[in-house]
């Protein structure tokens, strides 16, 4: 922590749809003491998500909320907001969440929702650009460098202000799988580091961009 900054312990809500490796990395970094936060809630849309097993192992409350299980969109949105409020969540991290976050949730948590993307945005972002699709697109374009981006979530896919980025070299002979494995290792480090910046009160928004205060 930089001198003069006030450390806050974040009350995290994590949204995940899949295996939850970034969710698990966040939990591990909290236990190591490198991330000033507590995960208060996991929200998933997938009852088979590996993230659920991680939540159970670590005694983290979880809820399965899928839009298809609600009669109306309003009921779906209210279910998300209600459970976040009940757990007093003050910051949200998307960790492989495969659904678009409702605009009402974004509005309630404006500039307090982050996502991690396995490419250097704004390249290789947007609808359909997730997982192996991103890495295949990087390889198809012949890129020599790819990377990881942590960004603020707004109403557009992969669009909000960038909080942090880190490059990952593309190697000769890479496949989507080998590239994904190297990128994922960086994701597990960078995501917690970026969230920690918020805990330290070092993130400012100036002219639609994120500025990290020293």
pLDDT at 4: 53
As a whole number of angstroms, the distance between CA 13 and CA 42 comes to 6
The CATH label, of 3.40.50.170, 1.10.240.10, 3.40.50.12500, 3.60.15.10, for the domain at 10-212 is 3.40.50.170
Alpha carbons within 13 A on the beta-carbon side of 33: 1
pLDDT at 70: 97
162 by DSSP, 3-state: which? strand
Select which of 117, 135, 151, 188 is catalytic.
117
Q: What is the pLDDT of residues 174-211, one digit of tens each?
A: 999 999 999 999 999 999 999 999 999 999 999 999 99
Residues 6+ apart with CB under 8 A from 104: 77, 81
Q: What is the pLDDT of residues 86-106, one digit of tens each?
A: 999 999 999 999 999 999 999
As a whole number of angstroms, the distance between CA 50 and CA 18 comes to 6
**CA trace torsion 135, 98, 189, 21 (10° rounding):** -100
Sign of dihedral through CA atoms 87, 130, 118, 18?
positive
Q: φ and ψ at 103, to 5 degrees?
A: -60, -35
Q: What is the pLDDT of residues 111-160, one digit of tens each?
A: 999 999 999 999 999 888 888 999 999 999 999 999 999 999 999 989 99
As a whole number of angstroms, the distance between CA 200 and CA 62 comes to 26
Q: What is the pLDDT of residues 31-70, one digit of tens each?
A: 999 999 999 999 999 999 999 999 999 999 999 999 999 9
- Stated pTM of the model: 0.94
Specify whether 117 is catalytic. yes
Cβ atoms of 87 and 11 closer than 8 Å: yes
């Amino acid at each position: 922590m930089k001198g003069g900054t006030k450390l806050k312990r974040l009350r995290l809500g994590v949204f995940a749809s899949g295996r939850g490796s970034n969710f698990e990395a966040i939990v591990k970094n909290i236990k190591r003491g490198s991330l000033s936060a507590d995960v208060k809630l996991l929200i998933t849309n997938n009852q088979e998500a590996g993230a659920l097993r991680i939540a159970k192992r670590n005694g983290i409350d979880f809820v399965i909320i899928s839009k298809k299980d609600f009669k109306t969109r309003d009921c779906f949105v209210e279910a998300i907001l209600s459970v976040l409020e009940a757990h007093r969540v003050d910051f949200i991290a998307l960790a492989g969440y495969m659904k678009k976050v409702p605009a009402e949730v974004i509005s309630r948590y404006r500039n307090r929702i982050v996502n991690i993307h396995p490419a250097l945005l704004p390249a290789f972002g947007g609808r359909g650009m997730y997982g192996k699709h991103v890495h295949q697109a990087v390889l198809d374009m012949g890129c020599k460098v790819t990377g990881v981006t942590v960004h603020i979530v707004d109403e557009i896919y992969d669009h909000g202000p960038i909080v942090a980025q880190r490059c990952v070299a593309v190697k000769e002979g890479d496949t989507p799988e080998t590239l994904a494995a190297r990128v994922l290792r960086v994701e597990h480090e960078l995501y917690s580091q970026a969230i920690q910046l918020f805990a330290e009160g070092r993130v400012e928004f100036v002219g639609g961009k994120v500025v990290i205060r020293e």
